[in-house]
Amino acid sequence: MESQRKRIRRDYAPLTIMAGLVCTTPLSPVTQVYNSHLDELEPDRTLSPTVIHPDVVAHAKDGSWKHPRANAYLANMVWKVNGVDITTLSEWENKFTIETATGVTRGDITIYKNINPGSHVELSFEAELADDRLGVNIPIKCDPITLITEDSSDDEYNISIGDDQIIQYDPFKDKLHLYEYKVAHGLTTDSEVNRNASIDENCYERTIPVTVFKGKEILPTTEYTLELCRIDSVSPVLMLTALTPSSDEEVIAVTKTYITLDLRLIEKRDYLIRVYKGTTRLAQYQFSVNRVYPKFDIRPTNGTSISPNDKERYDVAMVDCDGNTVDCPESIIKILWKTDTAALTAVEHGEGGEIVFQLSKTGIGNTYLNNWIDVYCEGNQKEVMSVARDELSNELTDENGDTLIFN
């Protein structure tokens, strides 16, 4: 006689997904310039089409998802123009193609349509990611990107930044954050030399070079002003907020030649750089900042036995990420220490990179059947930082007048 059957499945961690739109044709960007003297567009998309790539990155904390560049697994892909399915719009007929072949460029849209001068088009992308581990389709929605045509009777004005269009901040690679954490906890000596040595392309203090061109020549800084805006909405109209170091916490500096942002305070945000001569807008450039959450492994390190007279136990967490041991992991990860015994399970003892806990709290016994203890950690990457405020929403500062932030 056969018993009842019980189906048991593998338990997989859910996917963490990041998705954004990227222009992959630098010679045919999302911004066109119309020269009214010559009645020409630069670039002319009928000759040099623009390609927009939905950059979809996925990972699972347990390492069970093996395809970080996940475009090949997209299904039910829909590109929209101003919120409407592009395939239903007669004015876009034969003016685009969508890549459907399985591969890293799946979902790419190639645009052959020119945008009328002075107007803009909101282009957005939606799809589903097929997760065959869990048997589910996960909705994917990218923030819109704007196609715009600037009207210029003079030489074309362009903005170039010395950075990626999608800037990704990984706290695990931030040497400046680690240095400042060590200084604050007395683990290293504070010095300008040491701080400067910690500043690189991965640190939270991100300086983005900005260059303005008129034609092929660099425009002198005396001939323009520069504005940094946050994109709050693109539908039904483009909504922007001008940002300054004095009014916005994530902005450290805005000059005519560079912008400096504090990436610790940004989860995901879209920005627009605008250049003016008087009240006339010469050019604009869109970029975004994303905080990333890479996979890491965490484990306790104290493997020594417990003596009969021991009252407490000390342990240290070891964290590995991207093949490297993470220094001061508690500065990035919320590490909770827990124990299981024959009598008690999931007993929480504290938070941090190291722990001293009382054995009496664990429920460990004195016989062969119950004189054991399982020590383990639960860790989650800390989220974006925010400004510390009192109950009246006033910013809190230290003795030097610097604003305090935390996560």
Same domain for 55 and 104?
Answer: yes
Domain presence at residue 128 = yes
Phi, psi of 192 (to 5 degrees): -65, -35
Residue type, 260: T
Same domain for 325 and 375?
Answer: yes
Same domain for 217 and 333?
Answer: no
Same domain for 23 and 95?
Answer: yes
| Cβ neighbours for 369, distance < 8 A, ≥ 6 positions apart | 342
Query: What are 403-406's contacts with CB under 8 Å, separation 24+?
Result: 403/249, 405/249, 405/264, 405/265
Q: What is the CATH number of the domain that holds 80?
A: 2.60.40.10
Where is the domain boundary, 294, 318, 344? 294
Domain presence at residue 213 = yes
Where is the domain boundary, 153, 173, 204? 153
Same domain for 85 and 180?
Answer: no
Domain presence at residue 396 = no
- What's the CA gap between 289 and 250, in Å, rounded? 11
Domain presence at residue 266 = yes
Domain presence at residue 3 = no
- What's the CA gap between 117 and 136, in Å, rounded? 43
Domain presence at residue 186 = yes
Can you give the residue range of the structural domain that contains 165? 155-294
Number of domains in the chain: 3
Blockwise average pLDDT, block size 10, the chain, 407 residues: 65 85 90 76 90 91 84 93 93 94 93 86 92 87 89 73 92 96 92 93 95 91 95 80 90 96 94 92 92 94 92 95 94 95 94 95 93 94 81 70 68
Where is the domain boundary, 249, 270, 294? 294
CA 224 to chain centre: 31
Tell whether pTM > 0.75. no
Mean confidence (pLDDT) of the chain: 89
CA 34 to chain centre: 34
Domain presence at residue 281 = yes
The encoded tokens of residue 256 equal: 């005519």
The encoded tokens of residue 401 equal: 């007048």
Domain presence at residue 328 = yes
Q: How many CB atoms lie within 10 A of CB 90?
A: 5
**Model pLDDT for residues 175-229, shown as the tens digit of each residue:** 999 999 999 999 999 999 999 999 999 999 999 999 999 888 899 999 999 999 9
